[in-house]
Amino acid sequence: MHSFRYVGRELCCEGVSLSALAKKHGTPLYVYSQGTLTGHYTGLDQALAPLEHLICFAMKSNSNLAVIRTLADLGAGFDTVSAGEIQRAVAGGGDPRKCVFAGVGKSEEEIAYALSQDIYCFNVESEAELRRISRVAVRRRRIAPVAVRVNPNVDAGTHAKITTGTYENKFGIAFEQVEGVYARAARLPNLRLRGLQMHIGSQLTDVEPFRLAVAKVAPLAARLNARYGFDFFSIGGGIGIVYRPALASADPAWWSTREGRAILTPQRYADTLVPLLKPLGLRILVEPGRFLSGNAGALVTRVEYIKKTGRKHFVIVDAAMNDLIRPAFYDSYHEIVPLTRRGGAVVSSDVVGPICESGDFFAKDRPLPRVAEGDHLALLSAGAYGSVMGSNYNSRPLAAEVLVHGRKSAVVRTRQPVEQIWAGEAPAPWQQRR
Ligand code: LLP
């Protein structure tokens, strides 16, 4: 489900024309639909209604304060991976007591900060980290709530760079070692063993890896709960979305199929997992990122040049890999559509950015309607792992971001002024000019 669709010839986000936004705010421009964020959150929330649950939005996927505010207002918690993200969640109006803190490299300062904010739980990735959290908690005279992240050694069947739940990965503690780790953790001072956590990977479009992992880990959660009296079991994030072709229909009936094959919907996810989870009698946490934010965002860009070589038809646009790195990094597919639909010829095109790398592309040999200089395109499903992975490579300012709500729109991040890119830099003292 998403709210980017054509009204007549014009691509709109909810009730707002993207051409009008491009004209007003310039490009590259991220546009987010508040309605899509809300729709996805409530869809998942309702599907999980048979369980006592908390949806902790993986804010690494999109941490704009307006996105945080949208989800916080719906009751969401946040899955965070740094002190900066906890601060950001709070800045956006999130409740730190609904924040979980994951990541393999938490520093002492970050642990102390998280303790001071009274977060819901530390999701712990190693025994050394458990000892460090205990030490910091003793020093600060606080009790630290902890959950071990169990690595269930289940292949999520997704891209290698976003698989996290096998023994090839740096994440979590091996399934076989977890009970021993809890036994030792129980002897460490100032820890409260609050739950168990897992996360097997991202962009899973099939429910089977989730079923396998939950079926394997739920009995472990039950045994540990009997011994330590847990509050929760977190099954992580990873629900995949439809990337191609997302625009074909905004109808949920279509949305649940891809090329005739069923894909993961919140209902199928819940129908499969609720029977395995309900008997635990624990609060269930989920940590979706992409599922909530992915199809809620588009990156709008302007065509700068058309360049024909002997073999290729290049469409050179003003967005680049520094704005959206997913195609370069994971070979990801993002649907590309014109903001104004004209019909006419379809040309096999390479859509590329201005950066000096061959990896700076958004699509290769993609059949696209013929476009001309000055036309605008939208890269769809760019709401997750889009702007958050942006960089200043080639001294390119970070893109502006707009939130749409019905017929209303507002800039929720201004385009970065170019001087801000080098704001913290200066020549060394011995390089001063007289
Ligand atoms: N929980 C944990 C512990 C995670 O590490 C992640 C994502 C999530 C939840 C949320 O996963 P999601 O529901 O969004 O699949 N940059 C990559 C994705 C990296 C995912 C990292 N961890 C991409 O663009 O595909």
Please tell me if the CB atom of residue 323 comes closer than 6 angstroms to any atom of ligand 1. Answer: no
pLDDT digits (tens, 9 = 90+) for 25-49: 999 999 999 999 999 999 999 999 9
Average pLDDT over residues 342-363: 95
Average pLDDT over residues 223-234: 98
Average pLDDT over residues 242-247: 74
pLDDT at residue 254 is higher than 90: no
pLDDT at residue 217 is higher than 60: yes
pLDDT digits (tens, 9 = 90+) for 93-135: 999 999 999 999 999 999 999 999 999 999 999 999 999 999 9
The Å distance, Cα 3 to ligand 1 centre, comes to: 23
135 and 279 both lie in a single domain: yes
Please tell me if the CB atom of residue 318 comes closer than 6 angstroms to any atom of ligand 1. Answer: no
390 and 273 both lie in a single domain: no
Residue with CA closest to ligand 1 atom 6: 237
Distance of alpha carbon 207 from alpha carbon 210, whole angstroms = 5
284 and 327 both lie in a single domain: no
Question: How many domains is the chain partitioned into structurally?
Answer: 2
Please tell me if the CB atom of residue 238 comes closer than 6 angstroms to any atom of ligand 1. Answer: yes
The Å distance, Cα 9 to ligand 1 centre, comes to: 35
244 and 333 both lie in a single domain: no
Residue with CA closest to ligand 1 atom 8: 237
Is residue 229 classed exposed, middle or buried when 0-12, 13-18 and 19+ CB atoms within 10 A define those classes?
exposed
User: Domain limits at 388?
Assistant: 295-422
Distance of alpha carbon 133 from alpha carbon 151, whole angstroms = 20
**Annotation marks residue 13 as catalytic:** no
Average pLDDT over residues 85-91: 98
pLDDT at residue 251 is higher than 80: no
Q: Does residue 316 lie in a domain region?
A: yes
285 and 316 both lie in a single domain: no
The Å distance, Cα 230 to ligand 1 centre, comes to: 25
Q: Which atom of ligand 1 is nearest to the CA of 385?
A: 24
Give the residue from 271, 290, 309 where a domain finishes.
Answer: 290
Give the residue from 290, 319, 348 where a domain finishes.
Answer: 290
Q: Which residues fall within 8 angstroms of residue 163, CB to CB, at 6 or more apart?
A: 155, 156, 169, 200, 201
Place of tokens 């096999």: 348
Confidence grade of residue 343 (pLDDT, cut at 50, 70, 90): confident
| Other CB atoms within 10 Å distance of the CB of residue 28 | 26
Residue whose CB lies within 8 A of the most ligand 1 atoms, among 41, 54, 55, 60, for a mutation test: 60
User: Which range, of 168-172, 365-369, 418-422, averages the lowest pLDDT?
Assistant: 168-172
Average pLDDT over residues 417-430: 97
pLDDT value for 178: 98
Distance of alpha carbon 81 from alpha carbon 65, whole angstroms = 16
Residue with CA closest to ligand 1 atom 22: 202
Confidence grade of residue 258 (pLDDT, cut at 50, 70, 90): very low
Q: Does residue 5 lie in a domain region?
A: no
The Å distance, Cα 201 to ligand 1 centre, comes to: 7
138 and 168 both lie in a single domain: yes
Q: Which atom of ligand 1 is nearest to the CA of 61?
A: 14
pLDDT at residue 259 is higher than 50: no
Q: Which residues fall within 8 angstroms of residue 367, CB to CB, at 6 or more apart?
A: 346, 347, 348, 349
CATH number at residue 166: 3.20.20.10
pLDDT value for 246: 55
Which pTM does this prediction carry? 0.96
pLDDT value for 155: 82
Q: Does residue 13 lie in a domain region?
A: no
Nearest to 327 by CA among 359, 290, 294, 287: 359
pLDDT at residue 89 is higher than 90: yes
Please tell me if the CB atom of residue 34 comes closer than 6 angstroms to any atom of ligand 1. Answer: no
186 and 315 both lie in a single domain: no
Give the residue from 267, 290, 313 where a domain finishes.
Answer: 290
User: Which range, of 86-90, 170-174, 218-222, averages the lowest pLDDT?
Assistant: 170-174
213 and 312 both lie in a single domain: no
Residue with CA closest to ligand 1 atom 24: 385
pLDDT value for 1: 61
Residue with CA closest to ligand 1 atom 16: 385
> Chain-wide mean pLDDT for the chain?
94
221 and 136 both lie in a single domain: yes
pLDDT digits (tens, 9 = 90+) for 189-210: 999 999 999 999 999 999 999 9
pLDDT value for 255: 46
Residue with CA closest to ligand 1 atom 7: 202
The Å distance, Cα 23 to ligand 1 centre, comes to: 33
Name the residue type at position 415.
R
For residue 294, what is the DSSP state? G
Confidence grade of residue 2 (pLDDT, cut at 50, 70, 90): confident
Please tell me if the CB atom of residue 202 comes closer than 6 angstroms to any atom of ligand 1. Answer: yes
Confidence grade of residue 161 (pLDDT, cut at 50, 70, 90): confident
Q: Which residues fall within 8 angstroms of residue 264, CB to CB, at 6 or more apart?
A: 204, 205, 206, 207, 239, 240
249 and 320 both lie in a single domain: no
Average pLDDT over residues 357-366: 97
Per the document, the length of the chain is 434
Residue whose CB lies within 8 A of the most ligand 1 atoms, among 287, 331, 332, 388, for a mutation test: 287
Confidence grade of residue 91 (pLDDT, cut at 50, 70, 90): very high
Please tell me if the CB atom of residue 162 comes closer than 6 angstroms to any atom of ligand 1. Answer: yes
pLDDT at residue 314 is higher than 90: yes
Beta 16-17 vs 10-13: how paired, if at all? antiparallel
